[in-house]
Structures are given as C-alpha cells and as structure tokens.
Amino acid sequence: MGRLTRAQTQERTRVAVLTAARAEFVERGFRDAKIDRIAERAELTRGAIYSNFPGKRSLYFAVLAEHAERAAAPPAPPHPATDVRAALGAFARAWLGRLPLATDPGEPAWLGRDLHAEITGDEQVRRAFAQLMALSAILLGLGLEQLPGPGQPHAPGPTRRLAGKPHRPGRTEPEERAGPGGPVQAGGPVRLVPLAEMALTVLSGASQLAGTAPGFVEPFQVVQVCEQLADLGLDPRWRPPHLPHVPGARLVDERWPAGTASDALRGTAVRLAEDGVVAVLGLHRLAAIEEAVRAAPAGAAVTVVLTTAADRELGPLVRLVLAELRDGLRQALPDGAWPRLRVGYDGSGAIATAAGIPAAGDRTEAAVRIRGGRIAARAEGRGACHAVASADVGQG
C-alpha cells in the first residue's frame, strides 16, 4: 500500500474521531462525554481532535450530521401523497421515525437527545437554528402549495402574474395558471408556509418531549394532529412591510465565474450559470429567500447559498437540519411537487466571493440575477432577494 497523502491522513483521523465520539455520546450523552475519553477511544491525542473540531459542541453537531447523512434512505412510500393532508402525515411519520421513543438510553436513537439543550444555550447557535427552521418551513410550504387541499379534486396548479403587472406585496392582482409559482384562491396566492410552520412547531415539541419525558409522546396521535392541520384556516396572505420601500437592484453586466453547487436536498449538482436568481444569505437571514421565490419570473431558477462566519462550528448544524428535512420531503412530496428552490452551502466562501461578497457572514443578505451566464443585476442588504428577483433584465 502506498503512502497516504496529507489529505487522506486528515480524513482518516476525522473518521476515527467521529466514530469514537459517536460511541461516547450514545453511551454517556453530551454533558457527560469527555474529550479525553474520545481521544482514548480513537487512539489519538486531544490535539488531534481539536485540530479537526473547535470544541465538544461542534464535534457533537458533526456526529449528528454524519449520522443523518449516512442513515439509510427510507423506502419510497408505496402511494405518494396526493393532497396536503397526506403530505403532512407522511412528513410527520418520517420525522417521528427518528425520535428516541424507546426508554433505553443506550439506543442509537438517543444520540440527539441533548441537541436542543445545546442549541438554546448559545445565542449564535440559537439564531442560526431559528433561521434554519424558517428555511425548512419555506421549503415544506412551497411543496405543499403544489398539492390540492382538503376537498379539492386536483392540484390547482402553479400561477404566474399577468405580463405587465409588477408584483406589489399586499395587493391582489389577476393571475393566470402557468409557471412555477403557487396555487391560487380568490384574492391571491394560497401561501402554505404558515401551515408548514405549524407542522414543524408540533413536531419540534414532540422531539423535545421524547427526550425529556420518554414514553409520553404518542406518535400516531401526533401524525393525526399534523394531518388535521390541513383543515385550519390560517391566513395565507404574505405582506412583508419593508418590500414597498426596497430600492431597485443595480443593473450590471459582469462576469459570473461560479460553476456548480451541490443541492443539499436533491443530492445533485446544480449549474449556477442558469438564468435566474442566486441569493447568498447568512445563517441569520435565511427567511429572506421567500422574497426571491415569490417575485422571480416563471421558469427562472432560484438558488439560495447559505454562508456563515463560523463554518467549523455551525456548518455541521446546517448539514444536520438539511439532511433531516431532505428525508422528510422525500417521504411527503411526490416528484412533481418538489419546490423549485435549490439549496447550497458555501462553507469556503467561494460562491460568495464569485458573487462579489468577499466578507460574507451570518448577517449577509445579497443576491445576483444571472442572464446568459453573466450577472445582470445585483443588490445587497434587506430586500435584496426581492429587488433582484423582480428586476427587469430583459430577455436572455
């Protein structure tokens, strides 16, 4: 066997640390786990561990992310969801299947029992997680919008604003059925992101109780509750108060050097040079991507690239949330209902730099509009996603 390269040695060390840490966390939980014992299990030094992970919490997040990403994909449901109610039930079953419903703390399902305590114990982590949940609700809601609601014989279909009618948040305007928007109702689009938020609220509560009150959570009843959310008359209107005051995007003609990114949900490479919107959002600004989705023209690609100034600490948390969301969406949504929004993670900052944002951080909110493989418009700051998505850049 040839001599290992430096990169191969580093990867081997990283795998050994993750394997040892997983065993330690399953056996003792996060609080009682010790770096010294993890190093002993891995037959490494403490320094080898800290050279790969800045601390015990980041190591814990990395173990959970690795576990979620490597978990065997659940089998495709024999009968894909055909309406919102069925999709919510399928999503809930996928979510609850990960919970530590057994009372034996040595079970692998108990690996994540300390996750919420570690999230709530740090302001930076808490804010990032809140926005990751907001992004999850947007993605689930966009998928639900492609399905019929209770009592509807078929999906109402996507919509597009009529030509010549600019988007004005808070106003209802005539719409026609075409393109990748959302289903309509009298008075405007049906927005099901609030419904997704309620489902995630119920399921997150079940997650916490499964760890703090073993045996209390009744999974079948939780699934029923989530299914019945489809009957709630939540206000679907979407009226962000700041959008009417957002300045227009700057029209430019700049080189766009970015190539591809990995879609964290679909597991495929996406071409960033496709005509559409590429938003670079810090982990404290992720909810802003809905502005791009709602305003982008029919047929335009919409990609959100997540970035952070604390990649080694928060990158694993991003991977964990997206991996768990991916599994839920696979169970809940038929192929034709997947949201058009593509999600990438830019831990190195390469995509942000290509977009002209060299110092991207957790509060970054910037977007570029791609046309013909070049940057045709750009904006930064609050409302950037809306400004770029609604900019008139002509035909490609």
| Average pLDDT taken over every residue of the chain | 86
Let me know whether 327 and 362 are in one domain.
yes
With respect to residue 394, please indicate whether it lies within any of the assigned structural domains: no
Q: Looking at residues 256-260, what average pLDDT do you find?
A: 89
With respect to residue 395, please indicate whether it lies within any of the assigned structural domains: no
* pLDDT band, residue 171 (cuts 50/70/90): very low
d(CA 70, CA 78): 23
Residue 303 has pLDDT above 50, yes or no: yes
pTM score, whole prediction: 0.88
Give me the pLDDT at residue 123, please: 95
Backbone angles phi, psi at 254, to 5 degrees: -125, 155
Let me know whether 199 and 223 are in one domain.
yes
d(CA 396, CA 389): 14
Residue 257 has pLDDT above 70, yes or no: yes
Let me know whether 235 and 363 are in one domain.
yes
Let me know whether 20 and 90 are in one domain.
no
With respect to residue 206, please indicate whether it lies within any of the assigned structural domains: yes
Mark which of 43, 70, 97 sits at the end of a domain: 70
Residue 284 has pLDDT above 70, yes or no: yes
Among 91-95, 168-172, 280-284, 392-396, the minimum mean pLDDT is found in 168-172
With respect to residue 241, please indicate whether it lies within any of the assigned structural domains: yes
Cβ atoms of 208 and 129 closer than 8 Å: no
Total domains in the fold of the chain = 2
CATH at 61: 1.10.10.60
Query: For the segment 172-225, what is each residue's pLDDT rounded down to a tens digit?
Result: 333 333 333 334 344 445 899 999 999 999 999 999 888 888 889 899 999 999
Three-class DSSP labels, the chain: CCCCCHHHHHHHHHHHHHHHHHHHHHHHHHHHCCHHHHHHHHCCCHHHHHCCCCCHHHHHHHHHHHHHHHCCCCCCCCCCCCCHHHHHHHHHHHHHCCCCCCCCCCCHHHHHCCHHHHHHCCHHHHHHHHHHHHHHHHHHHHHHCCCCCCCCCCCCCCCEECCCCCCCCCCCCCEECCCCCCCEECCEECCCHHHHHHHHHHHHHHHHHHHHCCCCCCHHHHHHHHHHHHHCCCCCCCCCCCHHHCCCCEEEEEECCCCEEECCCCCCEEECCCCEEEEEEECCCHHHHHHHHHHCCCCCEEEEEEECCCHHHHHHHHHHHHHHHHHHHHHHCCHHHCCCCEEEECCCCHHHHHCCCCCCCCCCEEEEEEECCEEEEEEECCCHHHHHHCCCCCCC
Let me know whether 270 and 316 are in one domain.
yes
Give me the pLDDT at residue 108, please: 62
With respect to residue 181, please indicate whether it lies within any of the assigned structural domains: yes
Give me the pLDDT at residue 211, please: 80
* pLDDT band, residue 166 (cuts 50/70/90): very low
Among 6-20, 33-47, 215-229, 267-281, the minimum mean pLDDT is found in 6-20
d(CA 338, CA 199): 18
Backbone angles phi, psi at 326, to 5 degrees: -55, -45
* pLDDT band, residue 379 (cuts 50/70/90): very high
Let me know whether 216 and 250 are in one domain.
yes
Residue 159 has pLDDT above 50, yes or no: no
For residues 338-353, one letter each, b for 16 or more C-beta atoms within 10 angstroms of the residue's C-beta and e for the rest, the string is bbbbbbbbbbebebbb
Let me know whether 151 and 278 are in one domain.
yes
Amino acid identity, residue 22?
Answer: R
Query: For the segment 330-372, what is each residue's pLDDT rounded down to a tens digit?
Result: 999 998 899 999 999 999 999 999 999 988 999 999 999 999 9
Backbone angles phi, psi at 375, to 5 degrees: -80, 120
Cβ atoms of 196 and 138 closer than 8 Å: yes
Residue 160 has pLDDT above 60, yes or no: no
Q: Looking at residues 73-78, what average pLDDT do you find?
A: 71
Give me the pLDDT at residue 105, please: 58
Mark which of 19, 36, 70 sits at the end of a domain: 70
Query: For the segment 106-135, what is each residue's pLDDT rounded down to a tens digit?
Result: 566 678 888 999 999 999 999 999 999 999
* pLDDT band, residue 102 (cuts 50/70/90): low
Return the half-sphere exposure (C-beta side, CA atoms, 13 A cut-off) of residue 295.
31
Question: Domain residues for 57?
Answer: 6-70
d(CA 173, CA 252): 30
With respect to residue 77, please indicate whether it lies within any of the assigned structural domains: no
Let me know whether 117 and 64 are in one domain.
no
Let me know whether 66 and 200 are in one domain.
no
Let me know whether 345 and 245 are in one domain.
yes
Give me the pLDDT at residue 165, please: 36
